[in-house]
Every structure is written in C-alpha cells, then in structure tokens.
Structure 1
Amino acid sequence: MNFKWNYTPPTAEQEHTAAELGEKLGINPILAGLLIRRGITTESAAKRFFRPQLADLINPFLMKDMDAAVDRLNDAMGHKERILVYGDYDVDGCTAVALVYKFLRQFYSNIDYYIPDRYDEGYGVSRKGIDFAKETGVRLIIILDCGIKAIEEIAYAKEQGIDFIICDHHVPDESMPPAVAILNPKRPDDSYPFKDLCGCGVGFKFMQAFAKNNNIPFSRLIPLLDFCAVSIAADLVPVVDENRILAFHGLKQLNQNPSLGLKAIIDICGLNGRELSMSDIIFKIGPRINASGRMENGKKSVDLLVEREYGMAFRQAKHIDEYNEQRKDVDRQMTEEANQIVARLESQKHQSSIVLYDEHWKKGVIGIVASRLTEIYFRPTVVLTRDENLATGSARSVAGFDVYAAIKSCRDLLLNFGGHTYAAGLTMKWSDVKEFRRRFQDYVETHIEPEQREAILDIDAVIDFKDITKKLHNDLKRFAPFGPGNTKPVFCTLDVYDFGTSKVVGREQEHIKLELVDSKSNNVMNGIAFGQSASARYIKSKRSFDIAYTIEDNVFKRGAVQLQIEDIRPTDES
C-alpha cells in the first residue's frame, strides 16, 4: 500500500512543554511529546495514564436504568426464577455471556446461557431463542451485545411472560424495545460519562452494580477482567478512559492468571511463556473465539470460556482451532473471488465505495472479507450473500467515515440493520440489492472527505537511530495497551541505508529482513517489512530512503529491539 505520510512537527512551545514534562516524569522528551499529542500535559494526568486504577472506574449506577436492572435481577434470584444469559455469536457477545454467566453462577444455580445460530436464527434476538426460553421455564433474559433494535421480538417475549434486561452498545433507533431495563451508554437520554464501552463492558458494569448492591467485594470481579480485555481488543473500541482501565487490568489478568478457557486458547496458539498484548488478542485469540460462530455455532465458544476443567477446555480449544483453520480457507477463497469481481468491474475502480454480492458466499465470513477489501482498496465496503429471498451482509469503513450513517440513509430498503461507525450488519430483500448499491454509493460519494479516500499513515515523531535506547523502548511499553484512540506510536527516521545484509525472506519471498544504518550514529538496527518485497531492489541499490515504523521486541533475541517497518519511501520523494 502506498501511504500518504502525515506529520506535523511540534511547535517550539510544545517542545518546551515536552522537555519540562519529560524531566518531571524521568522519560525522554520524545515520549513526553507523545503524551502531549494524546492531550496529557500534566504530571498527575501522565501518572494516571501510565498506572490506570480500578478505583477510577465510573460508578455503574450513573448508567440509565441500572437501578431497574439490578432490582429485576435481585427479584428474579429472590423468587428463584430461571434466568437465561443470551448474547451475540461474535467475540464481544461470547465474552459478555461468559462473564455474566460465570459471575452469577457463583451465587445462583437456576441459570443457563444461549447463543443464537448465525445460519438458522440470524443476528440478535430470535423467536426460536424466545421459544426455547419459554419451553425451559425462563422468566428473565439478560441479553448482551445485541437487542437494542429487537422491538417486535421483545414484545413477543413479554406476551410469553418473559422479561428482558438489555446490555448493548450499538446505536439505538428512535424507538426502543419494551424491556424492563435498557443499559446502553449510547442512549441519547443516558448521561453516563463514557460512551464507548463494548458489549462485554456493559455486562461488566451491570455485574459491578449487582455486586455493589449486594455487598459482594469488587475483588470477586477481577478474575473476569480478562474477558473485558479480549472483547475491547477484538471489537476495536477506543482504548481510552474506562476502556483503558478495563483493558490494562484485563491484560494483567490474562498474563498472570487467565480463565481456563482462555488459557487453553493461549496454549493452542503457542503464546504461552510470553507477554500477551492487544495484538495477540486481535490476531490469535479473538479469531479462534469468533471461528465457532462463523463456521458452526458460537455456543461452543462460550462452552469453552466457562469450562471449569482444563483437560476438557484444551480439547474444546483444539476443536475451535480446527474451525479457525476451516475459516481461513473459506476466507482466502472468498477474498480472492471478491478481488476478481472488483478487478472485473471497471466502474468499481472509480467509485467511492464497494458493494459486492454473491449468493454462494458463506454468511459467517463476509465480515472478514469486507474488512480485507476495505484495507486493500481503502473504501467503505459492503459484502452480501443470499439467504433464500433475503440478502444479509456486513459493512466495514475507512478511518473517519461513518458507515452506519450511510446504511441508515437506505433504511427504507432494509429489513434490519445495526452497528456503529466502522462496522455494521444489514438485511434486505435480494431484489433490492442493486438499488441499495446505487443509493449507498451516492451517499458515500456525497459525504466522504478527500483525505478519507487515501491510505494515511500518521507519524508521531521523527527520530534518529541513536534515540532508540533500551530505556526509551521500556518507557514506550508503558503507553500500552494500544488500540483505537491510543494507537501504537509510529516513528520516522530519514536518510537510512542498507547495512549490506538486508534480504528478502518468507515462503513466497514477500517480506524483507532489514539491517539498517543512518548517518547520525553507528547503530545497526534490525527491522522487518512484511509484504514489502517490491522495495528490495531499491534498498539494495545503496541509495538512501526514509522509513516509518513501530518499535517492537525482537522475539528471537531477548532484550533486543526490532523495527516493524510500516512503509518505505525513497528519500528524494520526501
């Protein structure tokens, strides 16, 4: 990908503030400058950023309807009613269900969980799920990571004598379901100070309120924080404010004493014995939890996450790993087919969006394909497949463009839709797909900004190799956990050269293993540039070039640093 590099040099005033802040904190002014770019300008704010405290979590009773939710749960438990914990089949939904179920089963036995079948029931609350609840004597359903738009289904449940508590984080419609409580910080009438919780985060806040109301020590919730970290990473919500606290302590739990189900996945992935990061969740742990719902039924992932015996958990994790391998094969094939369609449709190349559909594509994988196409073509993308006379699909977006709003503009064509700024799901009649594509494209063309059509790489600081010390690297780790809103810093070094030993590597010779020098020091820096072998000839020409990169641990050499090269640019193009 050819990135447009975006860098704004610090002002003299910002450099002076960074020098002062760096001295107070005992860190390099370069890193103090990164804090300032994040809006952290005082010593006390920096200490809160570096050491997030569970004591700073927001009072859960500030969320609208929390009193009603806790009262209804207490009432259900007091009257020994059967409770069903119901959730979406993705990572956020499965971890949310596992968290709430595991916490409540410590105090109450008349409780079960349910994950709808993606292929048989579709997204969210289904009549089949409500009928199951009715048949098994359920009187209260706690629904997580979905439900905010299930007006008809929840009205149907009410007719059956079943109450709902909704814990969701997706954007609500003008009308909301007839639930006894709706916990959703995105409600327009909710003054809860943090709006960007994931579904699992809303479930955690509910359990925090329940514990507080029943004088259960907060320490009983800490073992469940690993689920929060997994969900925050996988759902790509901003890692700021309350999410940063939950992710920081959740990662700590994941590294020190994970739940048996997550430990089994960690072992299956070969991640044991190393410090796990948000990236490990996104690329290793999350896809395996997701794979069950994509290929078969997400309930198997929850079975694994709530398992109490490690031997059984390991066997379940192996089974889910097989689903993940199948998912990879299907994903690869569908992405290749989608790329061929884009290449064939000359008109798509000149449009601001991509809308593709194929009646044979697997419903559980279209979201991944939409993500891949967005990354390749840098355009808001919708991928659809056929389910009898319906088209169901997933949408993904580029930075800064609200794909949910684009889909909402076509709502008269849609039977169902939901999501948030960068990801959404939708259902319509198959016969309406072409009209949807036309109107979606018109909306994107009208509303997308020119800079949103380009692959932009934001550079945090320009530095020299002599600046990359062990202390800088260690202090940089304190900025973690990384994610949206607190991305891993990208550095740039100008006028670097091949040391003479860089080479192309990989099964298909697609990567470059680099050994580089700059003109400011004698440091030889190791780097890896994934998928950038096209630059190898220029690098070996002994001409200078600029690199943009993140600073990582060298996994093959303990204590050493490796640059992960995001982009390479000949110096004369600067």
Structure 2
Amino acid sequence: MEKRWVINEPGDEGTVITLMKSLGVDRLVADLLVQRGITTFDMAKKFFRPSLDDLHDPFLMKDMDKAVERIETAIQKQERVMIYGDYDVDGTTSVSLVYTYLKKHFDFIDYYIPDRYSEGYGVSTAGIDYAADNNFKLIIALDCGIKAVGKIAYANEKGIDFIVCDHHTPGDILPEAIAVLDPKRLDCDYPCDALSGCGVGFKLMQGLAQKMGWPFEELIPLLDLLAVSIASDIVPITGENRVLTYFGLIQLNNSPRLGLKTILNLAGVDKDLTVNDIVFKVGPRINAAGRIQSGNRAVQLLIADTEESAILIGDTIDVMNEDRKELDHSITDEALERVAKSSALLAKKSTVLFDRNWHKGVIGIVASRMIENYYKPTVILTESNGFATGSARSVDGFDLYNAISECSDLLENFGGHKYAAGLTMKIENVGEFQKRFEDYVVNNISEDMLVPQVKIDANIKLSDITPKFFRIIKQFEPFGPKNMTPVFVSEQVLDYGYSRPVGRNKEHLKLSVVDDIREGDVKAGIAFSMGNLYPKISSGVPFDVCYSLQENEYMGKVETQLMVRDIKF
C-alpha cells in the first residue's frame, strides 16, 4: 500500500537553540524535544528523569472527595463492596488493581466481570441483580459506567450505591452515582484528562490512601498492572501517564506479580520489557480470556497469589489466545474476500460489514486488520442476543466517534473514542446505518486521510546515527501516543553490497546501506515484507529510506539497526 510521508515542522528556532545550549545536546536532539512540547530545561529534566513526586493530587479530580468518603463509610460499616469492570485489558487490570489494594485493608469485597456475550459491554442489569441478591451495598465501576444512566438509576432503586471510575467521553447526562470520576467531564479540571480506566482507579486508591493515612509505598507494586493498562489502551504516554508507565515498566521488569510473570514467560519476554511488548505480547493474552470465554479468568490470573495457580490459569489463557488467533485470521480472510469481490464496497470511502456468524470476541481485531488492507474508517458487526453489535476503528485524522454519534438514532447504545468505538443496533437498522455512516464519511473525510501516512521527525544522514545519539534516543522511552518512537528519513542511500532477502519465503529484506560508498559508514537494517525490492536495491539505484532505530543483539554482539518503515525510489 502506497504511503504518504509527512515530515514534521521543525521546532521554533530560538527555542531549539536555547534548549540545545541549556542541555548540552546537539541541534537534532533539541529539535526532537521541542517537537514533543519539551521547551525548557525544567521540562526536559522531568521528561528524562520521571519522578513519582510529579503525580497530581488525586483530589483535583471532580468528585474524588465524595468517592473516598463513600469507601471510608463502607469500610467502617463493613458493607459488602463489588468491584465491577469491563472484560478487556483496561477493565480487568482496573478490577485487579482496586481489588488487590482494597483486599489488603478490607475483607468484604468481591469482583464482577460482565459476560461479553450474554451481558455485553459496561454496567449490566444482570450485574446489578447479582449485587442485590448478594447484599452488596456499593459498586465501584471501572473503565465503564459513564453512560449507564438507566442502569445506575435501577441500582439506586435497589438500594445500591455506585462510584463510577471511567475515562470515556461522557454523554449529555451523567449517571446519578455517589461519585463520577472521569477526567473527561467538562466540569473536571484534573490536569491529566488522558488517564486509562485503570489510571482513574489508581487515582481513587491514591486518594483513599491519602485520606486513611496509608503509606504511598503500598501503591507502587500496583504499577505493573497500570503500565499494562496504559500501553494496551493506547492512551497518550505523556505527563502523568508517562510517569506511571515509566515506574510501571520498572515494576514489570524487576518484580512483576505472579500472573504477569506467567504471561511474560508464555510470551517469551525475558528482559527489558517495553510498551511495544505489552501491546503485542501481553495485552492480547489478557484480552483473549474475555474474547473467548470470560474476563473473570484474566482477573483470576492477575490476582493469583501462588505460582501454581498462576501457571495453571496462564496455560488456559494461552490456549484461548491461540483460539483467538485462529478466529481472527479466518474471519479477517472472509471479510477481505467479501470486499475484494464487490466493486460497490471497493468504491466506498468506509467499510461496514455484517455477518451473523462472526465471533464477537475478535471483531475489533478484524476491524483493525481491515484498515491495514483497505485504509478506510471501518465497522465490523455480528449478531449477539438478537442485535447487531460491533467494533469500529478509524484512520488517522478522522473522528470516528462523531461519525457514529451522527447515526445515534439508529443505535441502541455506543461508546468509545476518536479512533475506536463499540456500538449496538437492531439488525434491521444495519442497512440504513451503512448508508448514513458512508454519507458522513464522504462529507467529512479528506483524500489525504485515506492514504496511510508515516510521520517523520527529521531528515538525517546515516552518519548522524552515532552511539551517543542512540543512547539519548533510548532515554525518550517509554514510547507511545504523543511520544512515539522517533522516525527518520535518509535520502539517496546506497546498498553497500551485503543487502539480501531473508525469511522462509525471502519476503523480508536485510539491509546494509551507506550515505556514500566512499565513506563506508555502513548501517544495518531490517525491512519486513519488502523482499520484492531487493533486485532494484542491489542494482545500485539510490533510494530514500524511512525508519526508526532499535537495538539488535545477535550472537552476543549488540548493534544499532534501522527498523525500516518504508522505501521510496
């Protein structure tokens, strides 16, 4: 697929020079920092040296005082408290974090994860009925609840109080809960509005600890769960999220809880775990439980207190993950074939597909894979409990949430973000939704948005990549949204004579490139799925290469290599 290269505007000249001098770094590093909003020495110090002292006061969040007071009352009266959360990674890590922490101080708690298939996303009537039948007086809802106006009113009728801890966009009406913690509330001035659901739960526990006089140090072991949540939910890793991820990765690498240690072993991650490892190796395994069977399994693993139980549950979840991958691939192939055979679908600027037999647990993954092949806003729907329910994913720059909101009269419910959402509708509304969604996309998307873009931080020479430069770039970690791995372009590079196709089917390309054959400063690189370019590259034709940098270890030797994103001749 053709990609559009977009080189970022350089930072303000004066700011770059001032930062360059105050930090004692070269111009390129200073420019990379300014592009990320790091414009002063003090900001750079916080960026390169995160500290838990930089966490915000939890009581800056609207309703935090009410939430903490209600939990304190529950502890004093020994009321039964239910920790309720969604079945995905953010929800299950949230429940595990709050449950683990409260259990240290309070015995009368339990947790509840709704069934993806019989109850669906968010707060369910079945969950409230279960709470009423088992004498729970308080429900702490995590990663959900901000739009559960009717459900929480139903809980109130049954004498059950709610504390909502959510990070999704609120509707026009907030639920009548004891407290609604959501940094995206219009009337909430909390400094970080990009927390994950687990992040909001953590802030609640931090607030409770402050009020009760419990030591902050008890919260630090929970940061491994929080790092998994932040990485998996693809929230910006800036500000407070950066601090929490930084220390969460330290916890994960040095002293992970038994459940996460089991997942790391199953995933083959044995050192220097990164955000990327969480996104592609840890998160999918936790998600697999809720996709294939029940999110309860994921919580059981994450709160496991013996190695034997962690390994037993971990092995079960690993099998579920293999089942998930098979379903994901087979349904993706079906969806791709359906589009490829339809000139009408190919001509559209959106993709909306419905099939009653597709597995509900993987349609979000399928939507993402469709965008990799057909770069358009995509909605994948299947049948569940007599309704069409599905997941939507967007392309860079297009607000998917707004598009779905414009079709809200056709929907039973929906929720999500700019780039990802979930929705449910009557099956008879699917056809009209396809039409209305397509009309909105046609009228609100630009042609540029329909071409995948590679955002490039700077144009550099290969000779600029020195060991010192790479050491500084590594200190930009943890990488993630709003602080992505720096991407560079080097123009008119040449094969040094050692490039070759690799892989079982020679589908990849191992590069050996230089700025100038006469200088011989050779850089190694790997270009996945670009083996077909070998004949042209090996012929000596100059080319432009777009890449990020990574450390590659082979037979005990460590070198910096180019992780190639794209090649243009």
Provide the TM-score with structure 2 as the length reference.
Answer: 0.97
Q: What code does the residue aligned with 2:328 have?
A: D
Which residue does the alignment assign to 1:307? Answer: 304
CA distance in 1, matches of 2:313, 2:519: 52
Q: Indicate how the Cα distance of structure 1 residues 137 and 510 shifts in structure 2: closer, same or farther if over 3 A, else same.
A: same
Secondary structure in structure 1 of the residue aligned to 2:520: coil
The 5-angstrom pairing of residues 24-103 of structure 1 reads 24-103=22-101
The 5-angstrom pairing of residues 166-181 of structure 1 reads 166-181=164-179
CA distance in 1, matches of 2:154, 2:400: 31
CA distance in 1, matches of 2:81, 2:2: 53
Given that residues 415 and 421 in structure 2 are in contact (C-alpha distance below 8 angstroms), is that contact kept between their aligned partners in structure 1?
yes
CA distance in 2, matches of 1:240, 1:401: 22
Secondary structure in structure 2 of the residue aligned to 1:221: helix
Given that residues 117 and 385 in structure 2 are in contact (C-alpha distance below 8 angstroms), is that contact kept between their aligned partners in structure 1?
no
- Alignment partner of 1:124 out of 119, 122, 125: 122
CA drift at 1:75: 0.5
CA drift at 1:250: 0.9
CA drift at 1:203: 0.4
Q: Deviations over 1:87-136 (max 9, x none)?
A: 00000001111110011100011111111110111111111111211222
CA distance in 1, matches of 2:326, 2:519: 46
CA distance in 1, matches of 2:313, 2:184: 35
Given that residues 163 and 179 in structure 2 are in contact (C-alpha distance below 8 angstroms), is that contact kept between their aligned partners in structure 1?
yes
Is 1:561 the counterpart of 2:568? The answer is no
Q: What code does the residue aligned with 2:197 have?
A: G
Identity %: 51
Q: What code does the residue aligned with 1:336 have?
A: D
CA distance in 1, matches of 2:302, 2:320: 16
Residue ranges of structure 1 left out of the alignment (5+ in a row) = none
Secondary structure in structure 1 of the residue aligned to 2:357: coil
Secondary structure in structure 1 of the residue aligned to 2:558: coil
CA distance in 2, matches of 1:433, 1:512: 43
Q: What code does the residue aligned with 1:6 have?
A: V
Which residue does the alignment assign to 2:374? Answer: 377
The 5-angstrom pairing of residues 103-142 of structure 1 reads 103-142=101-140
CA distance in 2, matches of 1:17, 1:145: 39
Which residue does the alignment assign to 1:267? Answer: 265
Is 1:465 the counterpart of 2:466? The answer is no
CA RMSD, Structure 1 to Structure 2 (Å)? 1.4
Q: Point out 4+ residue stretches in structure 1 off by more than 4 angstroms.
A: none
CA distance in 2, matches of 1:161, 1:40: 50
Which residue does the alignment assign to 2:161? Answer: 163
Secondary structure in structure 1 of the residue aligned to 2:413: strand
Given that residues 27 and 475 in structure 1 are in contact (C-alpha distance below 8 angstroms), is that contact kept between their aligned partners in structure 2?
no
The 5-angstrom pairing of residues 182-261 of structure 1 reads 182-261=180-259
Which residue does the alignment assign to 1:293? Answer: 290
- Alignment partner of 1:515 out of 512, 516, 534: 512
Is 1:3 the counterpart of 2:3? The answer is yes
CA drift at 1:394: 0.3
CA drift at 1:241: 1.2
CA drift at 1:20: 4.5
CA distance in 2, matches of 1:507, 1:429: 46
Given that residues 118 and 385 in structure 2 are in contact (C-alpha distance below 8 angstroms), is that contact kept between their aligned partners in structure 1?
no
Moved more, 36-45 or 429-438: 36-45
Secondary structure in structure 2 of the residue aligned to 1:40: coil
CA drift at 1:533: 2.1
CA drift at 1:46: 0.8
Q: What code does the residue aligned with 1:515 have?
A: S
Secondary structure in structure 2 of the residue aligned to 1:555: strand
CA drift at 1:8: 4.7
CA drift at 1:255: 1.1
Q: What code does the residue aligned with 1:559 have?
A: V
The 5-angstrom pairing of residues 436-447 of structure 1 reads 436-447=433-444
CA drift at 1:468: 1.0
CA distance in 1, matches of 2:546, 2:222: 37
Q: Deviations over 1:222-249 (max 9, x none)?
A: 1111111111111011111111111111
Is 1:278 the counterpart of 2:275? The answer is yes
Which residue does the alignment assign to 1:146? Answer: 144
CA distance in 2, matches of 1:164, 1:506: 54
Secondary structure in structure 2 of the residue aligned to 1:559: strand
Provide the TM-score with structure 1 as the length reference.
Answer: 0.96
- Alignment partner of 1:336 out of 333, 337, 342: 333
How many residues matched? 567
CA drift at 1:9: 6.0
CA distance in 2, matches of 1:351, 1:28: 47
CA drift at 1:376: 2.1
Q: Deviations over 1:267-296 (max 9, x none)?
A: 111111x20110000000000000000111
CA drift at 1:162: 1.1
Residue ranges of structure 2 left out of the alignment (5+ in a row) = none
Q: Indicate how the Cα distance of structure 1 residues 521 and 92 shifts in structure 2: closer, same or farther if over 3 A, else same.
A: farther
Which residue does the alignment assign to 1:482? Answer: 479
CA drift at 1:22: 3.0
CA drift at 1:388: 4.4
CA distance in 1, matches of 2:344, 2:17: 52
Q: What code does the residue aligned with 2:160 have?
A: I
